[in-house]
Amino acid sequence: MSVSSEKQGLNQEYSLCMPKDFERSRNLLQQVYEKQVVLEYIFTRGITAYGGIRVNNRGFHKEVSVKYSIDQWKTASVIHAYHSIFYYDSNTNLFQFKLTITNDELLLMLSTKDSTSSILPMSISFAICYVVHEHNFWDNNYSLDYILEIEENTEKRSKSILLDDAFRVQIAKDYRAISHGSDQAGIVCGLKNLGGTCFMNSVLQSLLFTSPLTSYFLLNEDMKNISVSNEIIVNEYLNLIYLLFCKKYAVIIPVPFKQIIGHMQDIYFENQQQDAHEFLLFLLDYLHEDLIRIKLTSIIVDLFHGTYKSTTTCIDCEHFSINFETFVCLTLPIPLTSRCTLEDCLQHLYEDEYLADDSRWFCSECQRLCNGKKQLEIYKLPKILIIQLKRFQLNHEFNWIKNDTLVLYPADNLSLQQSCPSSSSQQALYTLYSVISHQGSLNDGHYTTFCRDNEQLQWFECDDEKIKYFNSDKLDSNSNAYLLFYIMKNAT
């Protein structure tokens, strides 16, 4: 094959895929104790493979790497795996790796495509090395090497979960989906907690019940043509939402989604407790960026973006300046009391802020730093209103403490017309459909979600993989409410 034809071949799209006879590890822990290092799972997206490696915890100075080859080990490349979690119950560690085939490697494969070989020319071989105090332990699938095949994408084989039945089955295997059973309430699918990942599960369940967003991903024609190699977050979110919504499964294990976002943001790589509000903003931002690349518009902007209007006035000359700022989440302070209403929290948000001393404002009229007054109001309301109740704050000793004040929030007919004078009475009317609650302290807490199905008008309690019917009357006594999700009544 000539160099020009090889480069022309790179204009095609290629994908890594699992061999049909590939078997995942059975009796995993027994194999770990016998072999020290075992491939626990692997999944592919485009020309990238993600995997998890379980190893025996033999010492503190250890590392894991993956050696892979595209030409029967004539030329080998090594990548290092990242430590993820230590399992106390089995005294083992999990390391994760990401292996992406480069254009140069694809060129080499294409150049040997017609050569005779005992290994498929369009495939890669790999083995795993576990090093403890310079002692090597190898897992190469019982001397057979692990193999990943590379195939050329064609119109006959789509890589969208909405179009390809074979790909849909593979995604269900990647998420180790468990078929629906009698233990789960209704048809809602649970999410397995990976060890401190309830923050992620609660956000995903709330977004699943955000009906305009879910409908967009599952029904919009643009979602059928996204490229897994270029829009990895939005593609994986589509895979996840499909499994949660298709009504076939009771529980899925969100390892693929978790590992992919971990490679995008380090703090989400390990299985540790994180803030649900921060993760929500992270996910919406990445979905927005991917959607902008696909079609130059974003459903995230249309649904979630609102606008603040802030007016700063000089105390000396009364000159004022107006600024506008986009927000995705309305963060409300909570009064220091045992009980208050959501309206009380809103009033605290709009209290005048006086700018003095180190916070003085530069007045363009006076041409100097002056004392000022800042007023805030909502200029444009979003279709999906997310409210964060600011429960965590630093005390005088710089320790994080939690405010357990009971905030009473309406489930129906929340009106924000007073907070947003530019809106009509209909535009400012909202209905609650999800609440993320946080029990415990900042460092030792647990997230759960209460969600309403708009079709069935039924509330559910989502506690990771456990789904129960929920009596909405109990929302009135929920002193752990942290994130409130409202939908505008006339939103489409």
Non-local (6+) Cβ contacts of 298 within 8 A are 287, 288, 291, 292
- C-alpha Rg value of the chain to the nearest Å: 26
**How far is the C-alpha of 215 from the C-alpha of 377, rounded, in Å?**
31
Copy the structure tokens of residue 357: 């001393």
pLDDT at residue 375 greater than cutoff 60: yes
Amino acid making up residue 4: S
Enumerate domains of the chain plus CATH numbers: 14-152 (2.60.40.2440), 169-301 (3.90.70.10)
Question: What are the helix (H) ranges across 315-412?
Answer: 342-349
State the catalytic residues. Answer: 198, 446
**Over residues 70-87, mean pLDDT:** 87
Beta carbons within 10 angstroms of residue 370's beta carbon: 19
**How far is the C-alpha of 297 from the C-alpha of 270, rounded, in Å?**
33
**How far is the C-alpha of 244 from the C-alpha of 204, rounded, in Å?**
10
Q: What is the pTM of this model?
A: 0.89
pLDDT at residue 476 greater than cutoff 80: yes
pLDDT tens for 385-416 read 999 999 887 666 667 778 889 999 999 889 88
**How far is the C-alpha of 336 from the C-alpha of 404, rounded, in Å?**
9
Beta carbons within 10 angstroms of residue 385's beta carbon: 22
pLDDT tens for 29-49 read 999 998 899 999 999 998 899
Copy the structure tokens of residue 466: 């456990």
Copy the structure tokens of residue 356: 């003095």
Question: What are the helix (H) ranges across 223-327?
Answer: 232-245, 255-264, 276-295, 299-304
Question: What pLDDT, on a 0 to 100 scale, did the predictor assign at position 228?
Answer: 59
Residue 281 near residue 288 (C-beta atoms within 8 A): no
Non-local (6+) Cβ contacts of 2 within 8 A are none
Maximum alpha-carbon separation in the chain:
86
